[in-house]
Each structure stands twice: as structure tokens, then as C-alpha cells.
Amino acid sequence: MTAPRTATVVIPTIGRSDMLATVLRALGAQTVAPDMYDVVVSVDGPAEHVSAVGDEIRPTYRHRVVDGPPRRGRASACNAGIAIATGDLIVLLDDDMEPVPEFLGAHFEAHRDAPRRGVVGAAPVRVMPNDPPVAAYVADKFARHLQVLAAPDHRWTLRDFYTGNFSMRRDVFAEVGHFDQTFGQYGNEDLELFHRLRRASVEVTFDAAALAWQRYVKSLESFARDNWEKGHTAVQLAGKFPEALPELKLASYRSGALPIRVVRGSAVALGRTFPWIATAVVAAARLCERRAFPGRRKMYELVGNYLYWLGAFAALDDNRTTGCGLLAIP
């Protein structure tokens, strides 16, 4: 098989025009020729104002906008873009990224002699002065994750994978299948894809040169909501692929010292009985984050974990009602 000669960059977005303008401009400054790639912006909802962004920038590369029903989720938006892609290579890039000029060249090079490879590019979080305080926590956490991926002896596990900066040949995508669109909430649609990539013997590698800087501008409330949805979709993933459960965060619920397990179980039980507790926890964290106290990052970790477990148990409760999927954490 010959090396890929063209690429389609697929950008799923919920319509964040200011951030989308940044990524489109950066894609116009690539070191590869503009006729080697095109861009598809796939909108999770109406595309009118998104189309205006491209018209204002007037990029030298060919770009298209496709829209769909609102709030169907990232998986659906990715699939809509992939469906009309024409490049030999599909490059997925989230709308909060800013790729460096060598970004596309690195993705092309990584596939030159590997027809069945998926490439995860580096996506460090760049924190700006006006970003919300939680951005520093997310940046530090993701920096540690990238260090793990860059280790020479790294061996991939399920939770290592992400598709915010990812490339794979279009024919391999067609063979393995696109994203599972039943993952309509935040998170785990990429892990579901990775599980299928492993089963299809597709090699996954990390390339630090395929660099796109990431911004995190979500509020603490959005951070909490994302973690709740990640817990919910983790249960969905474990229900679809039970063999993946040991690699998920779900499997750690009954781990740790006895006092930790007791506190965790009691807090989750209270949150399930009194749903307002989750709102109160986030509100209290909001008050605390205004002060730069030493334990603020630990606070974010605890809030994220707590909302994750509440989301997971909400999904388990739903499954018990229908009798389908994962019914309990073993």
C-alpha cells in the first residue's frame, strides 16, 4: 500500500466560533501544501454561525461545513465528518486545539510505512491568564499523561487513548467501523473505538511531533458535568464490552484501604439518595476555588471522582430498570 498523499481534517464542534477560528487559522499555516489536505467542520447542531467563521478567515485549503441535529454528541459529529471525507488519511482534531505548523506533516510521516496504524498526537493544555482555575489542574493532569505516552517502553492500555488529536487511514476506519453513535454523552466514545482497534490488530502509536496545543475553558460546573457523564458512559462501555471492565476506572471502585472504601461508598450512597448533594458539592468547590490554597488541585480531583461515581451509579440504576447492560460493579 502506498503512503497517504492526501488528508481530511475532521473537526467536531458544538459551535465555539472563537476557538474554531483559532484552529482554522493554524491549519492554514501548515508546512504541507494546501492541496494535500482539506478540512471538514462537523457541527453538533445548526451550522450557520460556524460557516461564517470560515468565510471570514478565507483559508487557502478547501473546507466544508456539515451540520446535524443538536446535542447528538461528539461521536455523531465525528461520523458525519468522516462520512464525507475524501483524503487518504483522516485526521481528527477537536475544536479547542491549535496545531503547530508541522502538525499535518508529522501525521503524514507517521503513516508513511504503516498501512494499519492509528497515531495519537500530543495535545498539551496551554493555560492562559483568563482561563478558569480548573484549567491548571487539567493541564497538570494531562501533562503527566503525555509523559507516560512518550516513554520509550510504553505499552498502550485502554485509558491511554484519545481522539482529540488522532489520525488513521480512511480505509482502515471503514474496515474497523466509525464511532458508536449511541455514546451521546461526554466521554468513552474514543475508548470504545480503541477496543475495536485492538481487536482488529491496528497498531496505535504516539507521536509528539504531531503537536496541537489544547485550551481548557470550561467552568467548574462543566468540569463536574463532564465527569458525571464519563462515569455514565463508562458503564455503557463496560456493558458493551465486559472484557474491557478491568481497564476502566470503574474497576477501582472497591479498591483502596478500608477507610477510603467506606468514605467513598457512604458519599456515593448519600449522593444517590439526595441528588442535591452533588449540586452543593460543586457550589462549595466554586467558593473554594476563588482562593489559591495549596489543596485546590486535590479538591478538583475529589470533585471529579465524586461526580464520576455518581454518574456511574446513575447508569447502573438505569440498567437495572431495563435489565440490560452492566448491572453492578463486580
- Residue 58 binned pLDDT confidence (cut-offs 50, 70, 90): confident
Indicate the residue among 149, 180, 214 that finishes a domain.
214
The Cα–Cα gap between 311 and 307 comes to: 6
Tell me, yes or no, whether 166 and 182 share the same domain.
yes
Q: What is the CATH number of the domain that holds 197?
A: 3.90.550.10
Regarding whether 135 and 234 lie in a shared domain, the answer is no
Q: Across residues 28-40, what is the average pLDDT?
A: 95
**pLDDT for position 197:** 97
Is 113 within a domain?
A: yes
Beta strands per DSSP E along the chain: 7-13, 37-43, 62-67, 89-93, 97-99, 117-121, 165-169, 203-207, 212-214
Assess whether pLDDT exceeds 80 at residue 50: no
Run of H or E residues at 307: helix 296-322
Classify residue 260: in a domain, yes or no.
yes
Residue at 247 is within a domain: yes
Q: Which of 39-53, 59-73, 128-142, 296-310 has the lowest mean pLDDT?
A: 39-53
Residue 17 pLDDT: 75
Number of compact structural domains in the chain = 2
- Residue range 253-273: average pLDDT? 92
Residue 96 lies in a domain: yes
Q: In what order do the strands lie in the sheet with 203-207?
A: 62-67, 37-43, 7-13, 89-93, 165-169, 117-121, 203-207
Same domain, 203 and 281: no
What's the pLDDT at 71? 74
Query: In the structure, what pLDDT confidence band is assigned to residue 243 with cuts at 50, 70 and 90?
Result: very high
Q: Lowest-pLDDT range, 86-95, 193-202, 290-299?
A: 290-299
Mean pLDDT over the full length of the chain: 92
Regarding pTM above 0.85, the answer is yes
Q: In the prediction, which pLDDT does 48 show?
A: 60
Do 232 and 255 fall into the same domain? yes
Structural domain contains residue 330: no
Q: How far apart are CA 1 and CA 153, in angstroms?
A: 28
Question: Burial, 216: exposed, middle or buried (Cβ in 10 Å; 0-12, 13-18, 19+)?
Answer: buried
DSSP-H helix ranges across 200-248: 220-240
Same domain, 94 and 191: yes
Backbone φ and ψ for 55, nearest 5 degrees, come out as -65, -35
The answer to the question of residue 327 being in a domain is no
Report residue 1's pLDDT band, with 50, 70 and 90 as the boundaries. Answer: low
Q: How confident is the model at residue 101 (pLDDT cuts 50, 70, 90)?
A: very high
- pLDDT bracket for residue 51 (50, 70, 90): low
Residue 329 domain flag? no
Q: Over the Cα atoms of the chain, what is R_g?
A: 20
CB atoms within 10 A of CB 240: 16
Q: Are residues 144 and 240 in the same domain?
A: no
Confidence of residue 49 (pLDDT cuts 50, 70, 90): low
Looking at the structure, tell me whether residues 46 and 189 fall in a common domain.
Answer: yes
Which single residue is written with the C-alpha cell 474497523? 176
> By residue range, what is the domain housing residue 273?
220-322
Same domain for 284 and 160? no
Domain boundary among 187, 214, 241: 214
**Average pLDDT of span 45-62:** 72
DSSP summary character for residue 125: B
Same domain, 210 and 284: no
255 compared with 168, residue with greater pLDDT: 168
> In terms of Cα–Cα distance, which of 26, 17, 18, 19 is closest to 46?
17
Are 104 and 207 within one domain?
A: yes
Query: Is residue 87 located within the same domain as residue 207?
Result: yes
In a shared domain, residues 198 and 276:
no
Q: Is residue 262 part of a domain?
A: yes
Domain end (from 214, 240, 257): 214
User: In terms of DSSP bridges, do strands 203-207 and 117-121 run parallel, antiparallel, or are they unpaired?
Assistant: parallel
